[in-house]
Structure 1
Amino acid sequence: MFKQFKTFKWLLVILAILLCVVTLNVILNLAEGSLSLWERLQTAPIWLTAPFVILSVALVGFTLWFIWSLLGPRKKPQAPEVAAPVSAESVAQKYREAEAKGIDVNEAFAALEQWREEKQSGEIIVAFLGNISVGKSSLIKAMLPNVEQAEDIAVDVLGGSTRATKKFVWHSAAGDQLILEDVPGLQEVTAPDVAPLDKLALEAAQRAHVCVFVTEGDITKTEHAALRAMLELNKPTILVLNKADRFQAHELAEVSQKLSAYVSEIVQDLSLKLEVPVVTTISGGEEIVEVQQQDGSVLQQSRARQSDTQKLVEAIQATIDTHAGWLESLRDSAVFVLVDRKLDKAETRFKQEQAEKIVKTYTKRAIFGAMAAVAPGSDLLIQGYLGKQMVNEISAVYDIEARKVDVQTFLELVEQHLQKALPVVLAIAGNGLKAFPGIGTITGGIAHAGAYGLIFDALGRSLSASMAVRGTLSPAPAATQFKDYLNENLALGTRRFAQLVLEARKENRSD
């Protein structure tokens, strides 16, 4: 064993000597070659020396850059740009820009006007939110026993009673004047032309100074999601467990503890610094009791249930006193966010309407362009030009700079799909001609025109939908949406074809 180790050491010594000799030989050869080259360059003309030196320096520089890119420190990924907080100035600027573009800003204007009026009044707004039939209206009625407006609150246990937000004035013991807003239930069913209640509740929470979320037991998934959305506003919030008289003492303590745990979990998950008190109340109302008569019979009678809102009143007053310094600024920030979102939605609707007009215009042009084509193949040139123009105009609507390569790629993907779908499109268009007496026997040019109408309609709708969602022209997803819209047109068959042709003929006559 020792002899083998000694032999191995001698082999390493010999290998080291050989490596040293080879390295010295390489260095000497390089030195000799370099000196020889240097002597020749000194005697060579400048037109030969200069390019050689430039190429050598460039080669060495590229090699060093390549080595550094492989072995050097990696660049830290850039942090995503954080949007600037919404302020009065940014909202005003956005409002002016939207109005200048012709965007409908009525909803945003109404929200701003309501904010100004409420701000000038100096009143503190408390929004009562919660599921249907949890007793929000009865709770406000119990807090306002001597106020006439409270009589307008009709309590109905069948599906909730409040169809629109109601406001009531309440004076606290400390002298503060508050507006109590009774907001419709989160699951309330309304007519189609009425704004969704979830949206209505969220906007009410954004306008309020303090939010009161009312429940009648362990919260459901819907209530949990609504409570989380409210807490995301980072506003003073009070969680109320109403109808506490329905629980035994130990049950009430258990449910209250669960609600506190839910709130703490949401607050921690959102990294908020909010303290959300959980209070119990009895909103009153009526209850059915059984009264035993002298003859032994039992009679059911209705009597008023004793209300208890003291803990809620104390929690509201404590919240106002604690957050007096920044209550108004919190509300202002939330209202600005609300108006900003309304402006965004209005701009989205405006862009969609503009894109729809462009699609209709180019669909009509495609139909008549195909009918006007005389020379074989000229229709392809016309439709290709119209297709690119439509892409550019829709891109301009969505403030997107569509690169030529993306436009070309998108049109190529569309063309690949059309090679398979075109026979079906032409068949649909041919059948559609039978709906028009007198032109069903005209040559296939009209069939081609109708086919191009179906194609351009799907093309424009897919571009608009893709750009609205992605904010850019992504050829592959847009081509996939084109396929879906074209299949939709084909599924509608001759009815869709007839609709496009009639619209084109009508607009052409009006022009």
Structure 2
Amino acid sequence: MRIWNRVRSALPAWWRKKAATESSGTADARRHWLAANRNLKSLLEDTSIPSGIRAELADEFEQIERITQKLDRDEVHVAAYGRVGVGKSSLLNALLGREAFRTSALHGETRREARADWQSLKDGQAVLLDTPGIDELDGGARERLARDVSLRADVILMVCEGDLTRIEHAALGQLARLGRTVVLVLNKADRYTRTELSALLQRLAERTRDWLPAEHIIAVSAHPRPEIILRTGPDGREEEMTRPREPDVKELRAVLWQLLEREGKVLAALNASLFASELDARVAQRIVAARRDLAERLIHKYCLAKGLLVAVNPVPVADLLAAAGTDIAMVTHLGRIYGFRMQRSEASRLLMTISAQLVALMGAYWGLNLVSSALKTASAGLSTTLTATAQGALAWYATYLVGRMAQTWFARGKSWGGDGPREVARSILATLDRDELLREARTELRNRIQRSSA
């Protein structure tokens, strides 16, 4: 696909693995950053994308615009991701050292994406993003938003408060398969004893060993419970007091900051390119689907036209000549749907190639067509209508096969592929229910003929 080819040329196959393990120089990071930005802007400005498909993907194109703006501002995004109530907002506040994100004792306080500037990188700005919980019972829209934000983020903090739930494990696996850089953050570590915490971290490492390096699993206490202390009063009695404790995110801050300084801009460029390639794939899929639907409607239109033409024309030779002209027109029209303009001579050569394969595979059909043609000439009255409808249905069927083969050839970029036209014809015939198609053709032709004669 267009964008992915440009991305692949800008980002060699070995680069992604190298970026995750080695320090990238400023010049290389800047080069990939600029390449990603060019790819995004070329996708936004691609005039070959039909307006209808662009409208269907309006949300995705809006996200591309936001990513482009992010790159223009030299921003690297870090998103907190996870279930409701695990302390995502508290974690971001602890990293910031100030209350920038709303927290509440009520679950689901974060209802939309929120952001705050964190610190300046040596050549950019780190930005923290908060997202809604991924397990809201009535939060399908919130979950989609959280996923979109995480896919746009350059580093994702997957926040949990214990062993991973089924939802968390599935979400983490999805992010890993998408190639996102993830740090698994075990929040509320102050609730566990040292022994319990060590066992829990080991359990998390075992469950995620195929996805995360061990150093990307970090325990924190973003909003620790107050410390209970005993104080002796003037009367000599001891009484319990509580004293707030400072958040413990030092290890996470150090690991995260080292990651951002070393690889932040490279990760941002890679993630932007990956997102652009994903959108380009969706655009391509929509274009393929739109062309396929339009081609199928066009083939049906020509099947009906050819079937009626053959059914109502009493001259057998004229039947065959008229049928050939209809097929050539259909092939030419199909070519335009797939972006190819064909001369009549080229369309005729393609039709001859297709017909040769069909003759080789369907000799019995052509014999039946000649018999039906002879029957129609010799018959009269009601029998003529019956045999004409039968021959029209056979003409319909032949045109359908020609259309399907031509559609396949155009969809493959005017190529039969490695197997050649014979195998294409064979595979199409193998997937068709010939009797059902002929039955439907006879029914529609008979109804059309009866309506026209009424």
Query: Under TM normalisation by the shorter chain, which class is it?
Result: 0.5 to 0.7
Contact 2:176/2:182 (<8 A) preserved: no
- Counterpart-to-counterpart distance in 1, 2:321 and 2:271: 58
User: Which position in structure 2 is the counterpart of 1:105?
Assistant: 54
Give the drift of 1:381: 2.8
Change beyond 3 A, Cα 1:249–1:181: closer
Cα offsets for 1:431-468 (capped at 9, x unmatched): xxxxxxx9998342123223433443454345435653
AA partner of residue 169 (structure 1): R
> Is the CA contact (8 Å cut-off) linking 2:187 and 2:219 kept in structure 1?
yes
2:9 to 70, 75, 84: 84
Aligned counterpart in structure 2 of residue 446 of structure 1, from 386, 389, 394: 389
Amino acid corresponding to residue 340 of structure 1 in structure 2? D
Q: Residue 114 in 1 paired to residue 66 in 2?
A: yes
Q: Tell me how far 1:475 sits from its aligned partner.
A: 1.2
The question of whether the paired residues in 1 share the 8 Å contact of 2:76 and 2:264 is answered with: no
- The answer on whether the counterparts of 2:37 and 2:71 sit within 8 Å (CA) in structure 1 is no
- Residues 103 and 346 of structure 1 are in contact (CA less than 8 Å); yes or no, is this contact kept in structure 2? no
Deviations 1:108-136 (CA, angstroms, capped at 9, x unpaired): 5433333355557776533455xxxx636
**What amino acid maps onto 1:445 in structure 2?**
A
Q: Select the residue among 443, 448, 456 that pairs with 2:399.
A: 456
Q: Secondary structure at the match of 1:442?
A: helix
Give, in angstroms, the shift of residue 259 of structure 1. 5.2
Q: Deviations over 1:79-135 (max 9, x none)?
A: x99953375445555655544765632325433333355557776533455xxxx63
Q: Distance in 2 between matches of 1:195 and 1:451?
A: 54
Q: Which residue of 1 aligns with 2:287?
A: 347
Query: Where do 1:262-411 residues align within 5 Å?
Result: 262-263=210-211, 277-280=216-219, 310=249, 312=252, 315-326=255-266, 328-399=268-339, 407-411=351-355
User: 1 CA distance for matches of 2:412 and 2:441?
Assistant: 26
- Residues 100, 320 of structure 1: alpha-carbon distance in 2 compared, 3 angstrom cutoff: closer
Q: Find the residue that maps to 1:472 and give its secondary structure.
A: coil
SS in 2 for 1:104: helix
User: Do 1:210 and 1:236's aligned partners in 2 also have CA atoms closer than 8 Å?
Assistant: yes
Structure 2 contact 310–391 (Cα < 8 Å) conserved: yes
Q: Is the 8 A contact 1:115 1:335 kept in 2?
A: no
SS of corresponding position for 1:166: coil
Do the aligned partners of 2:218 and 2:252 also contact (CA within 8 Å) in 1?
yes
The yes-or-no answer on 1:252 pairing with 2:200 is yes
| Cα distance per residue 1:145-174 (max 9 Å; x no partner) | 86675559846xxxxx99xx8312356588
1:138·1:283 contact (CA, 8 Å) conserved in 2? no
CA contact (8 A) 2:77 2:126 kept: no
Could you tell me which residue of structure 2 aligns to residue 68 of structure 1? none
Residues 367, 452 of structure 1: 8 Å contact kept: yes
Shift of 1:258: 2.7
For 2:36 and 2:117, locate their aligned partners in 1 and report how far apart those are by CA, in whole Å: 31
| Structure-2 separation of matches of 1:102 and 1:504 | 39
- How far off is 1:344 after superposition? 2.5
Query: Corresponding residue for 2:78?
Result: 126
Query: Does structure 1 residue 179 correspond to structure 2 residue 129?
Result: yes
Q: Which runs of 5+ in 2 are unaligned?
A: 11-34, 94-98, 224-244, 371-380
Distance in 1 (alpha carbons) for counterparts of 2:398 and 2:148: 42
Q: Output the CA distance in 2 between the equivalents of 1:373 and 1:456.
A: 17
Separation in 2, partners of 1:213, 1:358 = 50
Aligned to 1:207: 152
The correspondence for 2:183, drawn from 216, 220, 238, is 238
| Partner AA of 1:126 in structure 2 | V
CA distance in 2, matches of 1:280, 1:414: 68
Q: Secondary structure at the match of 1:138?
A: coil
Maintained 8 Å contact 2:84/2:134: no
* SS of corresponding position for 2:415: coil
The alpha-carbon deviation at position 343 of structure 1 amounts to: 3.6
Bigger RCO (CA 8 Å, 6+ sep): 2
RMSD: 5.4
Shift in Å, 1:212: 3.2
Mapped contact 2:338–2:411 kept (Cα < 8 A): yes
Over residues 37-62 of structure 1, what are the superposed CA-to-partner deviations in whole Å (9 max), with x where a residue is unaligned? xxxxxxxxxxxxxxxxxxxxxxxxxx
Identity %: 14
Report matched runs for 1:217-228 at 5 Å.
Answer: 217=164, 226-228=174-176
Distance 2:75 2:129 in 1: 7
Q: Which residue of 1 aligns with 2:91?
A: 143
Distance 1:136 1:253 in 2: 21
Other structure's SS at 1:452 match = helix
Q: Is the 8 A contact 1:351 1:397 kept in 2?
A: yes
Q: CA deviation at 1:224?
A: 7.4
- Which residue of the partner structure matches residue 230 of structure 2? none
Letter in 2 for 1:111: Q
When residues 446 and 416 of structure 1 are mapped into structure 2, their CA distance, relative to the original with a 3 A threshold, is: same
What pairs with 1:402-421 in structure 2 (closer than 5 Å)? 407-420=351-364
- CA deviation string 1:256-293 (max 9, x = no partner): 4435642369xxxxxxxxx9722246899xxxxxxxxx
Q: Please say if 1:490 is aligned against 2:435.
A: yes
The verdict on how the C-alpha distance between 1:149 and 1:237 changes in structure 2, with shifts beyond 3 A counting, is same
Give 1:432's aligned residue: none
Give the counterpart letter for 2:259 in structure 1: T
Contact 1:213 1:237 in 2 (8 A): yes
Instruction: Give, as a single letter, the amino acid of the residue that structure 2 aligns with 1:447.
Output: A
Structure 1 distance, partners of 2:367, 2:70, is 64
Cα gap change, 1:90 to 1:123, in 2 (>3 Å): closer
TM, length-normalised to structure 2:
0.59
Amino acid across the alignment from 2:422: A
8 Å CA contact 1:103, 1:350 repeated in 2: no
Cα distance in structure 2, aligned partners of 1:422 and 1:137: 71
> Aligned pair in 2 of structure 1 residues 422, 364: CA closer, same or farther (>3 Å)?
same
Amino acid at match of 2:64: L
